[in-house]
A and B are shown apart, each in its own frame.
Chain A
């Protein structure tokens, strides 16, 4: 038996390969530019999210609002049967002055976070706290958009990349330094986003509407919530084939993205598909915010060029 065939050598080799892969995946210091772009996405979508609360903040969260504190507590805790760990600053008071005071702070903070600067972790933490405060205060009022936004805001706290200001993050003016924390934030976002794609695809297939190819009709035919009325594009006898194609295409896109975004050489195909499909989903469903944040985040965390820097292994304890 040769040394290579020795089971203990094979085992050691496997462990070493896994260890190297783990290190390469999480610890290869990477450019702060991607982390900064992620920060800009989280901040600007956060700004939009806060701005959308501006007109109806008291209408929902005020003492005479549609979702008062007492009702929110009762629903979240299942009438006091469960301990809830969903802390919200917006739960502390229902007075308009308090709510709008916090609201303005969070609006301005999101602009500060988008611009960047040497102390960006502070606005990143405040930003996360603001988003979670709204999400936890109105759990039943939230949807996929808020889930993705809160996820990105969480990972931006790990590496806000304040050294790369907004113009450099967007326009590539100057080379950016690299850090291992940028890699961690980036990898966590990638994994979480891939999980969202997988969850979307699998839960679509959990219902016959998506299997039978007519789900797209239920999206376009919703008479109150749709943004544009696109029913005319399908309202003819052979339009059913187009509906079937779009329905199957949306499911396939979700499942396809889960796997193929990881292959760098396929990104030239994947990235235009991401942009095009999310635009299509937005047109069909009217969920523009969710489609936009998914497209923007996907395009940032799965860039066209794969990583080309060499991994920096952890220093040996003997060094």
Chain B
């Protein structure tokens, strides 16, 4: 930290011995907790999980436990690829994007891709309640936005073309990155109203399953 040569010296009284000790204990414990949370962010061991469980009354409220936040930017797996959700109102109508991206607010756009990625993480299990609840929420959202319940919702993955294809070394794949063959439907549901008027979703088969956790190489 820079210190101004002509700056006034400390305007704050140094703490008493007791306060000094208390601060030192707090800083030591806090730094240990930070170290634990950071090292347990990715593939924690059972010991780390147990310790994280014990410290969560302190770590969770302050968001010190980052809970698998991807600081690695990408691992090149299918889950790291772009996912998005589309809906349609009838069989003869086109598919519409669930959310329009907001170009000026990249954090808002990133939020949508994280939500879609989270859905992709859960569709691997057909009985997964999280995927069902997320698609019901999406159907309700479409109903509020358009005034009509969608007939179908689908989660799609837009796979990246390989470098070899882009460089012209592999002609077996389409060179256009937006070619339809790069878009894979990972999950599709039919949206229905049950007799009580609640929205329910029925997963459709056959589904193209994500290859998670295998890397796409």
A residues sitting closer than 8 Å to B (CB atoms) are 22, 26-27, 29-31, 33-34, 48-49, 51-53, 55-56, 59-60, 64-68, 70-71, 74-75, 79, 84-87, 132, 135-136, 138-147, 150-151, 154, 163, 175-184, 186, 188, 191-192, 195-196, 198-200, 202-204, 206-210, 214-215, 217-219, 221-225, 227, 231, 234-237, 239-240, 243, 250, 281, 285-289, 303-305, 307-309, 312, 314-315, 317
CA distance A55 to B100 in the complex (A): 11
Contact B72 A143 (CB under 8 A): no
Q: Which residues of B contact A34 (CB under 8 A)?
A: 1-2
CA distance A1 to B134 in the complex (A): 75
Interface residue B38 (Cβ < 8 Å from any Cβ of A): yes
A-B contact pairs, 30 of them (CB 8 A): A29-B9, A66-B138, A68-B137, A71-B130, A141-B114, A141-B115, A143-B70, A146-B63, A177-B8, A183-B1, A184-B23, A195-B38, A196-B38, A198-B38, A202-B42, A203-B42, A215-B74, A218-B81, A221-B160, A222-B81, A223-B160, A224-B82, A225-B82, A225-B110, A227-B106, A231-B177, A237-B167, A288-B106, A289-B106, A309-B3
CA distance A181 to B27 in the complex (A): 12
Residue of B nearest to A235 (CB): B166
Interface residue B4 (Cβ < 8 Å from any Cβ of A): yes
Among B5, B75, B108, B166, contact of A231 (Cβ-Cβ < 8 Å): B166
CA distance A219 to B167 in the complex (A): 16
Among B10, B60, B107, contact of A145 (Cβ-Cβ < 8 Å): B107
Report the number of A-B residue pairs with Cβ-Cβ less than 8 Å: 275
Q: A65-B137, A66-B115, A85-B56 are in contact. Are A31 and B63 (CB under 8 A)?
A: no
Contact B215 A31 (CB under 8 A): no
Q: A184-B27, A236-B167, A315-B14 are in contact. Are A31 and B3 (CB under 8 A)?
A: yes
CA distance A145 to B5 in the complex (A): 35
Q: Which residues of A contact B50 (CB under 8 A)?
A: none
Interface residue B95 (Cβ < 8 Å from any Cβ of A): no
Task: Annotate B1-39 by CB proximity to A: 1 below 8 A, 0 otherwise.
Answer: 111111111111011010010011001001100110011
Q: How far is the CB of B80 from chain A (nearest CB, A)?
A: 6
Q: Which residues of A contact B118 (CB under 8 A)?
A: 140
Q: A31-B1, A48-B107, A314-B20 are in contact. Are A144 and B75 (CB under 8 A)?
A: no
Dominant SS among interface residues on chain A? helix
Contact B9 A235 (CB under 8 A): no
Residue of B nearest to A35 (CB): B1
CA distance A315 to B17 in the complex (A): 8
Task: Annotate B95-129 by CB proximity to A: 1 below 8 A, 0 otherwise.
Answer: 00011001001111111011100100000000001
Among B57, B137, B160, contact of A71 (Cβ-Cβ < 8 Å): B137
Classify chain B: how many residues form its interface, as a range.
35 or more
Q: Which residues of A contact B42 (CB under 8 A)?
A: 199, 202-203, 206
Contact A195 B69 (CB under 8 A): no
CA distance A56 to B35 in the complex (A): 35
Contact A74 B133 (CB under 8 A): yes
Interface residue B193 (Cβ < 8 Å from any Cβ of A): no
CA distance A46 to B52 in the complex (A): 27
The interface centre, meaning the residue of B84, B110, B144 with most chain A CB atoms within 10 A of its CB, is B110
The interface centre, meaning the residue of B1, B24, B41, B177 with most chain A CB atoms within 10 A of its CB, is B1
Among A84, A143, A177, A288, contact of B10 (Cβ-Cβ < 8 Å): A177
Q: Which residues of B contact A305 (CB under 8 A)?
A: 2
Q: Which residues of B contact A59 (CB under 8 A)?
A: 99, 141
Q: Which residues of B contact A67 (CB under 8 A)?
A: 115, 137
CA distance A85 to B63 in the complex (A): 10
Interface residue B46 (Cβ < 8 Å from any Cβ of A): no
Q: How far is the CB of A301 from chain B (nearest CB, A)?
A: 8
Contact B138 A218 (CB under 8 A): no
- CB-CB nearest 8 A-B residue pairs: A224-B82, A309-B3, A177-B11, A209-B76, A175-B7, A221-B160, A29-B10, A52-B105
Contact B4 A33 (CB under 8 A): yes
Interface residue B89 (Cβ < 8 Å from any Cβ of A): no
Task: Annotate B53-82 by CB proximity to A: 1 below 8 A, 0 otherwise.
Answer: 000110011111011011111111000111
Q: How far is the CB of A214 from chain B (nearest CB, A)?
A: 7
Residue of B nearest to A282 (CB): B106
Q: Which residues of A contact B62 (CB under 8 A)?
A: 132, 150, 154
Among A27, A75, A215, contact of B14 (Cβ-Cβ < 8 Å): A27
Contact A144 B71 (CB under 8 A): yes
Interface residue B88 (Cβ < 8 Å from any Cβ of A): no
CA distance A124 to B70 in the complex (A): 27
Contact A143 B114 (CB under 8 A): yes
Q: A203-B72, A209-B75, A218-B160 are in contact. Are A180 and B4 (CB under 8 A)?
A: no
Contact A181 B12 (CB under 8 A): yes
CA distance A68 to B137 in the complex (A): 7
Interface residue B200 (Cβ < 8 Å from any Cβ of A): no
